[in-house]
Amino acid sequence: MQKSLIKKRFSKSLTTYCDNAVVQRKMAKELVSMLEKKNYKNILELGCGTGFVTAELVNGTEFESYDAVDMVLECESYLKKISPQVNFICCDIEDFHPDKTYDLIISNASLQWVGELSEFMEKIKPVLKSGGSFVFTLFGEDNFKEMAQFVTNPLKYYSVSELKEMFFGYKIDIIMETTEILEFETPKDVLKHIKNTGVNALSDTRWTKSDLKNFEEKYPINANGKCSLTYQPIYIKLEI
């Protein structure tokens, strides 16, 4: 996984992300709604992006400290507009080594970019206070299934059963898989959506005219005559 490419693509898509990441915004709201507590001492957000989750938490919870980590430096300006209380840390979440523990760790649509998720789950465990919650979303095996035939270096998506095996030492409070389907007029509109949300971050290979023609001819058309794009969010709440 080329972290430099991921950083580059998400950095370029920041100005278009908020208007196009409709599923991720919905996921952020659902994720925060899973929290029973409304008061925390220390909050850690991993992969904060433009602040969908940050805004929900700032407006709906109380906290003493809030650390938000993202590798894209430009995210800081988005977070400061939400609240000056949020401490932005520019860092790859896999390289982040906090000097304190947290009673809430939260992450929305970010952990699929982690190289080895099982190792990351072990690494983050000591950072969570006893009795604390680790709530996050990532995506299931059917995510972007329409794109599978066109992608040579896809992200690794896990089934619910595979994920459960990674949660040794955690108590699973919630694990819920859902499906969100977006519809577009043309295959080109699908590509534009993907580009505008920064998800085209695994390959730096440019498509030729032949590649684009093949994509337009072979992209599946649904019963409504539209081009569907499937998202499969998985919502998880763990405790320790």
- Which pLDDT band holds residue 3 (cuts at 50, 70, 90)? confident
Contact predicate 137/236, CB 8 Å: yes
| Inter-residue contact 71 to 91 (CB < 8 Å) | yes
pLDDT of 46 over the 80 cut: yes
Answer yes or no: pTM beyond 0.75: yes
Task: State the pLDDT at residue 200.
Answer: 67
**pLDDT > 80? residue 203:** no
Domain extents in the chain: 3-141+155-179+232-239
Backbone phi, psi, residue 153, to 5°: -135, 70
pLDDT digits (tens, 9 = 90+) for 169-183: 999 999 999 999 999
The tens digit of pLDDT for each residue in 101-124 reads: 999 999 999 999 999 999 999 999
| Strand, helix or coil for residue 223 | coil
- In the structure, what pLDDT confidence band is assigned to residue 155 with cuts at 50, 70 and 90? confident
* Residue 97 pLDDT > 70: yes
Q: How far apart are CA 133 and CA 211, in angstroms?
A: 45
Provide the 3-class DSSP secondary structure of residue 37. coil
pLDDT of res. 122: 96
Strand partners for 177: 234
CA 105 to CA 188: how far, in whole Å? 37
CATH topology of domain 3-141+155-179+232-239: Rossmann fold (3.40.50)
